[in-house]
Structure 1
Amino acid sequence: MKFPSIFRTAKPMRFDIQPRYYDPVKEEIAQRTAKIKRELQADGKIPLENEDSEVLNRDYGSSIRGAFTQGGPIKGRSSSVVSSTGIIRLVIFMVLLGAFFGYVYIGPEALYTMLFIFMGGALVYLFFRLKGKSRR
């Protein structure tokens, strides 16, 4: 017995398929006939029909096929080596790996040394970046 409730409970979904008849031979004949008709219209051997029927007779292939190879990089994005996420990820991985092995073999002094080197590099980078902006 079911108790009354204000919430709806999910019911199991039923599998209901409507079979369709598909004749591959008939489909191929229709496609070949439409293709030959378009070729004859392009050659001028038979008169052109209105444009609506020409759109309907067009062969529809896969629209996704070759879509990724035809496109290039996204316009407007910088393709600098420094801004590439793969390079940044590699640098971060190498720094962490170096910090780990430096700490294991040398001790905490290796971490302090790496910290000073990176801070100095960051200051040099900021100096040249700000120096370049002041010229403009």
Structure 2
Amino acid sequence: MKFPSIFRTAAPMRFDIKPRYYDPVKEEIDQRTSRIKSELEAEGLIKSDAERRELGYGSGIRGSFAQHKGIKERDGANVFASTAMIRTFIFLLLLGSIFGYVYFGPIVFEYLAYVVAIVVGIYYFFRLKPKKKHE
């Protein structure tokens, strides 16, 4: 067991070697590609990295999180089309059926069936009604 102390005690040194690998083929390929790239830049066939950055040919992901404008609003969003709203209605229906069964008994399922039929009827009435064009 170690007692707390205000002085730091010396810890044993750990041996940590990081090996370096040398691949002559990869080294030769890197030198050759950099040489060919510099020759093509000198001839003007390709643009240098600085010129590409000036023209905006950089990485497409750089800065895209900083330019994020938030969640996009849906055009002509229908309130009943969102999955969160549908889940909420299903939750309230289940909650109402449980409490109704506790307080009123099995008759509540008949009342809920009538309510659901009326709501579905109203929904399809407004959905199938032709839309008026205001021009």
TM-score range, shorter chain: 0.3 to 0.5
Structure label with greater radius of gyration? 2
The normalised TM-score by structure 2 is 0.47
The normalised TM-score by structure 1 is 0.46
- Tell which has more relative contact order, 1 or 2 (C-alpha 8 A, sep 6+): 1
